[in-house]
Structure 1
């Protein structure tokens, strides 16, 4: 039912609108306007009611895309300050809402190639604003070197590398990284997940688990990571997930 759909999606619609306007009241007003115009008001017979979250996001985006309809635009996420409106919207929908490309194309009313170009430009524009220091918790030297090259290509810096749980905790305490890339199986048989559990007690930073053993994350553990990259990995996948993790952290 439409009521259930709206109730379920309302927090995410508000998050999207608030991030795009930079103001809680303005964002909520955009959502309210969308609901008034497309849900609560009687519609012509050729204008069906929204049936999915994609429909709802598309209707909201049509308001956010029109500067004359946004009461306030004071972008609260520093990473978005230098991006165009369409770049901000594309990035948020893909990185934070984690919608598939075909859904984002429908919401933004762009082609697949246009979305690719928008996200590519956004990645370049984001480099300086998202730049952070990264702790790599990985015992295999070649993989650590690959990850170092990838993060440096995005404008980030590897601040330290750890190969065991104890070393990871020590380095995190000493460096306070902005992001951690974590392997599960470490050199001395210790676990990167245990290192994460210890680090989170004194330092809050987004973590990405990069592992050949993703099944080990299916145990229902308390601090299960939100971001996972299976080995062997592709550089473009690692880049995307790093941006997702940093943007999601910035939006939280």
Structure 2
């Protein structure tokens, strides 16, 4: 099997990581593209002593660490979300966010994450705890849930409240979701894809975003179907079945780039 064939199944999830790390589909995909270009240009430098997925993320980390500082200097004008993120990043170690996303969202073990960020396992665990504490302290929002499975909705609601956020309500259909959003505007939406009346959570979100901007996290059992490289695509995705830590990381990261949650 060629290297390209080995890496192909992991690309959708690398896109997810890149987008969560940057808060932008365009920027995240840019780093993924640069990663692939680096591998094609020098395949002999690709790590062969580890699992291909680890090698892929390791190459991405090298690109990110070498390139994002130049982007910060050369970017010129930036949008509001990036400006807010940079203000928050000034208060937090970049490694802590990477450790959090690699373990909680991408599912790497602390040992694998340690390899990816050049740290030891104990340090990774410390970084994850630091990231959760800092992001949760800096971000608070009013959250709406679009989910037709009562048990899952209750679980998500519990996580939302544990993080200190307020719930505006739970909708189970597209029409309910739009009506609820118009009645009580949320600061964050968590949306399932398939809803109770066979309507689409994606369509519900499109209707809401046509009225006002709000960060959205999609919940799906098939994230690769939404991570094809086409535009527009969701920036934040949670895979079913999910861990509570994954939901916490996604919520914190989505709000991390949202200007409405700037601390006083």
Q: Aligning the two structures, in what range does the TM-score lie when normalised by the shorter sequence?
A: 0.5 to 0.7
Bigger RCO of structures 1 and 2 (CA < 8 A, at least 6 apart)? 2
Q: Deviations over 1:32-81 (max 9, x none)?
A: xxxxxxxxxxxxxxxxxxxx55446556899xxxxxxxxxxx99755456
RMSD between aligned residues: 3.9
8 A Cα contact 1:169 1:195, kept in partner: yes
Deviation at 1:204, TM superposition (A): 1.1
Structure 1, unaligned stretches of length 5 or more? 1-11, 17-51, 63-73
Name the SS of the counterpart of 2:93 in structure 1: helix
8 A Cα contact 1:128 1:155, kept in partner: no
User: Structure 1-normalised TM-score?
Assistant: 0.60
- Work out whether 1:204 is the aligned partner of 2:204: no
8 A Cα contact 1:209 1:225, kept in partner: yes
User: Structure 2-normalised TM-score?
Assistant: 0.57
Aligned partner of 1:140 among 149, 153, 161: 149
In 1: Cα distance, 2:184 partner to 2:162 partner: 21
Specify whether residues 220 and 170 from structure 1 end up closer, same or farther in structure 2 by C-alpha distance, changes over 3 A only. Answer: farther
The match for 1:90 is 95
Deviation at 1:125, TM superposition (A): 2.7
The match for 2:180 is 171
Aligned partner of 1:224 among 218, 223, 233: 233
Aligned length: 189
- Work out whether 1:130 is the aligned partner of 2:135: no
Specify whether residues 198 and 116 from structure 1 end up closer, same or farther in structure 2 by C-alpha distance, changes over 3 A only. Answer: same
Deviation at 1:189, TM superposition (A): 1.7
Q: Deviations over 1:68-99 (max 9, x none)?
A: xxxxxx99755456x4xxx4312454578999
Deviation at 1:123, TM superposition (A): 0.9
8 A Cα contact 2:99 2:128, kept in partner: no
Q: Which has the larger radius of gyration?
A: 1
